[in-house]
């Protein structure tokens, strides 16, 4: 069957499934709307959390990042999984015990301050909205590449689907849809990886294939082969470190703390029945995430090897050793059309040379020996690695159709979770909590549906007219969550002495320092030309990149909150009782003070 027809059928079927689930799981109370009635089984919640967490970026971009950065990309693998350990042990069970609907609500109650709650709402909205714009863009790209419909049409289709099940079903509808979306995305991600691992190493399990010998009879280990192929062409070896150790350390830390502090992830643990379910559910979430995250390094390395071998077909420097441009494979031509792959015949020999021309010694040698005059693959976008992978390996069309549906599922599930976090903080924290405490449950439910619809429209608008900073948002979202929300939440549980003044001072100083550091190198509010210094490693303080600063911001937050709290009055007695109460799962023992 024609690829495009097949893709329409697969994507159409998944959409019908999502809508069906939405109609079945409508929400009728605020509890169902915000936290799915607290009745989700921990394994089901783990699966939904995994879909919520793994975005278009995890699905499409991460393996590409690994393919081109090699060992250095480990920061994303460890950073985006290690955060769940912090979540399971430092936040999830206690916030579940507290038993309310939103993250700012906990901060507002714990620090007995509407101001703290509003600061938390602002952090939440900025972090979630910047994040959701990327998802909307991902949906549009997936549609336009695979279904060959205009970007706008794809975006509207995605928005309508999210609208139906998020507005109708709230957290309940979103949770059950995310379970279906997880199944689609993980199947779409692992099937091509199994095929490719089998082709290259003879081992069907990608995690083992990556550590196996090549099936080409050379007896060489795949990773050693990749190191050799890359260094032969003047690139750095795949498995060695290229960045500085301090930056790797802090970036990993920032991503971990940021992951644990992202509100759309935290609220997922409000949906399970008990405290012990919250603990084990974080474990299940990480199991389902780990299936993708341990497959990604295999896809990255194997895709890179396939790409290099496609272009450098024979001995380096020999006349026939490089791919003739006229004989390039179909996927090459397809991706050239999108502009994500670009070739320029610099030495007019009709063949493709792909090597590191920034390596001067190698570049000069090849110019003298073989007449190479520069790297001719002038653009190889990282994002195409996962999407083009099935085509590069000549996999059947249904696998390619599946990858399209998987990418869309990843983007939709994350977008829905983020939109719910935004909508509930507007209706529950701002409207019910601060401005109109007297509204009824029914009015609040309507308000949050309106807020959800509004958030979808805003996200859609930015998806169509992406602000210049779209690529920079990941640093911002994680920086905000790491430097402001995580420390406030963690100290709220573990340090009874932290009071209102300390928490607010801590959040503002963590947030402020992180924002200034990011804006200093990336421009104030990301306006081009307003940066104070060029964003290069030489200019960074101690070699710390803006993306990695969140951990420093968190440290500043901890220190300031602790110091200010200790020179001001203790928190009121009923707050201290509240903290004691959330530290234990049951209600046996001393009565709580309120």
Partner 1 sequence: MSSNKQAYWKANLRLVAGCLVVWFVVSYLFGILLVDVLNTIQIGGYKLGFWFAQQGSIYVFVGLIFFYASRMNKLDRKHDVHED
φ, ψ (nearest 5 deg) of residue 55: -95, -175
> Closest approach of Cβ 498 to partner 1, in Å?
16
Query: To 10 degrees, the CA torsion angle through 258, 263, 266, 269?
Result: -160
Bridge partners of 213, per DSSP, are 221
* Residue keyed to tokens 């024609």: 2
Indicate the residue among 447 and 554 with the shorter CB distance to partner 1.
554
> Closest approach of Cβ 249 to partner 1, in Å?
5
Indicate the residue among 92 and 564 with the shorter CB distance to partner 1.
92
Considering only the C-alpha atoms of the chain, give the largest distance between any 2 of them, rounded to a whole number of Å. Answer: 84
Burial of 5 (0-12, 13-18, 19+ CB in 10 A): exposed
Helix (H, G, I), strand (E, B) or coil at 357: coil
Indicate the residue among 81 and 375 with the shorter CB distance to partner 1.
81
Yes or no: say if 38 and 270 are a contact pair by the CB < 8 Å rule: yes
Q: Which of 505, 475, 525 is nearest to 258 (CA)?
A: 475
C-alpha to C-alpha distance for 51 and 176, rounded to whole angstroms? 11
Helices (H) and strands (E) in the chain, counts: 26, 2
Helix (H, G, I), strand (E, B) or coil at 587: coil
Torsional class of 377: left (φ above 0), alpha (ψ -120 to 50), beta (otherwise): beta
Token pair, residue 328, equals: 């390039």
Token pair, residue 152, equals: 């706008």
* Residue keyed to tokens 């990301």: 526
Rg (CA), the chain: 25
C-alpha to C-alpha distance for 413 and 268, rounded to whole angstroms? 13
Indicate the residue among 52 and 357 with the shorter CB distance to partner 1.
52
Distance of CA 534 to the CA centre of its chain: 26
> Closest approach of Cβ 535 to partner 1, in Å?
23
Indicate the residue among 89 and 153 with the shorter CB distance to partner 1.
89
Q: Give residues in contact with partner 1 (CB under 8 A).
A: 66, 71, 74, 77-78, 81-82, 84-85, 88-90, 93, 207, 210-213, 221-224, 239, 241, 245, 248-249, 252-253, 274-276, 279-280, 282-283, 286-287, 290, 293-294, 297, 580, 583-586, 588-590
Yes or no: say if 363 and 389 are a contact pair by the CB < 8 Å rule: no
C-alpha to C-alpha distance for 102 and 376, rounded to whole angstroms? 52
> Closest approach of Cβ 210 to partner 1, in Å?
7
Helix (H) or strand (E) holding 279: helix 275-311
> Closest approach of Cβ 593 to partner 1, in Å?
11
C-alpha to C-alpha distance for 57 and 146, rounded to whole angstroms? 17
Indicate the residue among 10 and 296 with the shorter CB distance to partner 1.
296
C-alpha to C-alpha distance for 562 and 497, rounded to whole angstroms? 8
> Closest approach of Cβ 253 to partner 1, in Å?
8
Q: Which of 507, 484, 495, 494 is nearest to 570 (CA)?
A: 495
Indicate the residue among 135 and 281 with the shorter CB distance to partner 1.
281
> Closest approach of Cβ 190 to partner 1, in Å?
15
Yes or no: say if 271 and 35 are a contact pair by the CB < 8 Å rule: yes
Token pair, residue 470, equals: 């779209």
> Closest approach of Cβ 583 to partner 1, in Å?
5
Indicate the residue among 294 and 338 with the shorter CB distance to partner 1.
294
Indicate the residue among 158 and 571 with the shorter CB distance to partner 1.
571
Helix (H) or strand (E) holding 367: helix 360-370
> Closest approach of Cβ 539 to partner 1, in Å?
23
> Closest approach of Cβ 277 to partner 1, in Å?
9
> Closest approach of Cβ 417 to partner 1, in Å?
20
> Closest approach of Cβ 185 to partner 1, in Å?
18
> Closest approach of Cβ 574 to partner 1, in Å?
14
Indicate the residue among 26 and 274 with the shorter CB distance to partner 1.
274
C-alpha to C-alpha distance for 329 and 306, rounded to whole angstroms? 12
Query: To 10 degrees, the CA torsion angle through 364, 368, 370, 375?
Result: 30
Indicate the residue among 52 and 429 with the shorter CB distance to partner 1.
52
> Closest approach of Cβ 594 to partner 1, in Å?
15
Helix (H) or strand (E) holding 389: helix 384-392
Yes or no: say if 35 and 101 are a contact pair by the CB < 8 Å rule: yes
Indicate the residue among 78 and 122 with the shorter CB distance to partner 1.
78
């Amino acid at each position: 069957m024609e690829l495009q027809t097949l893709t329409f059928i697969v994507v159409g079927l998944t959409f019908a499934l999502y809508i069906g689930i939405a109609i079945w799981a409508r929400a009728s109370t605020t509890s169902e709307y915000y936290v799915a009635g607290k009745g989700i089984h921990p394994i089901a919640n783990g699966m939904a959390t995994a879909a919520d967490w793994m975005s278009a970026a995890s699905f499409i971009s991460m393996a590409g990042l690994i393919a081109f950065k090699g060992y250095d990309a480990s920061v994303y693998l460890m950073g985006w999984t290690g955060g769940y350990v912090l979540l399971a042990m430092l936040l999830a069970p206690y916030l579940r015990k507290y038993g309310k609907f939103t993250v700012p609500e906990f901060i507002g109650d714990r620090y007995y301050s509407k101001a703290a709650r509003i600061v938390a709402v602002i952090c939440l909205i900025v972090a979630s909205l910047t994040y959701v714009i990327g998802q909307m863009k991902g949906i549009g790209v997936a549609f336009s590449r695979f279904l060959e419909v205009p970007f706008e049409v794809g975006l509207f289709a995605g928005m309508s689907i999210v609208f139906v099940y998020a507005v109708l079903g709230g957290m309940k509808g979103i949770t059950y849809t995310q379970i279906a979306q997880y199944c689609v995305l993980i199947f779409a991600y692992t099937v091509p990886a199994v095929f490719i691992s089998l082709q290259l190493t003879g081992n069907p399990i990608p995690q083992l294939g990556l550590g196996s010998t090549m099936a080409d009879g050379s007896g060489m280990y795949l990773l050693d082969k990749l190191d050799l192929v890359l260094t032969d062409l003047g690139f750095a070896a795949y498995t060695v470190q290229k960045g500085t150790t301090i930056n790797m350390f802090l970036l990993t830390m920032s991503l971990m703390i940021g992951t644990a502090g992202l509100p759309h992830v935290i609220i997922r643990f409000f949906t399970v029945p008990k405290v012990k379910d919250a603990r084990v559910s974080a474990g299940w979430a990480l199991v389902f995430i780990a299936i993708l995250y341990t497959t990604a390094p295999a896809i990255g390395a194997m895709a890179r090897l396939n790409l290099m071998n496609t272009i450098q077909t024979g001995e380096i420097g020999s006349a026939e050793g490089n791919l003739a441009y006229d004989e390039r494979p179909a996927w090459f031509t397809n991706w050239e059309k999108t502009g994500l792959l670009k070739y320029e015949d610099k030495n007019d020999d009709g063949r493709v040379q792909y090597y590191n021309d920034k390596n001067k010694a190698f570049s000069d040698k090849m110019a003298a020996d073989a007449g190479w005059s520069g790297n001719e693959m002038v653009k190889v976008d990282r994002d195409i690695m996962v999407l083009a992978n099935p085509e590069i390996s000549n996999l059947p069309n249904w696998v390619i159709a599946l990858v399209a549906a998987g990418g869309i599922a990843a983007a939709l599930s994350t977008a829905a979770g983020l939109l719910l976090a935004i909508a509930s903080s507007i209706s529950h924290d701002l409207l019910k909590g601060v401005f109109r405490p007297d509204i009824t449950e029914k009015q609040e439910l309507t308000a949050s549906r309106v807020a959800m619809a509004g958030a979808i429209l805003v996200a859609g608008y930015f998806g169509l007219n992406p602000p210049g900073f779209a690529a920079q948002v990941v640093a911002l979202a994680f920086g905000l969550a790491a430097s402001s929300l995580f420390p406030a939440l963690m100290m709220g549980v573990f340090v009874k002495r932290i009071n209102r003044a300390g928490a607010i001072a801590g959040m503002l100083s963590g947030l402020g320092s992180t924002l200034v550091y990011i804006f200093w190198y990336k421009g104030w509010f990301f306006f081009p030309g307003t940066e104070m210094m060029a964003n290069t490693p030489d200019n960074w303080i101690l070699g710390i990149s803006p993306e990695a600063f969140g951990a420093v911001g968190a440290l500043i937050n901890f220190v300031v909150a602790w110091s200010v709290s200790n020179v001001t009055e203790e928190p009121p007695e009923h707050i201290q009782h509240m903290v004691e109460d959330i530290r234990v799962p049951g209600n046996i023992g001393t009565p709580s003070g309120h």
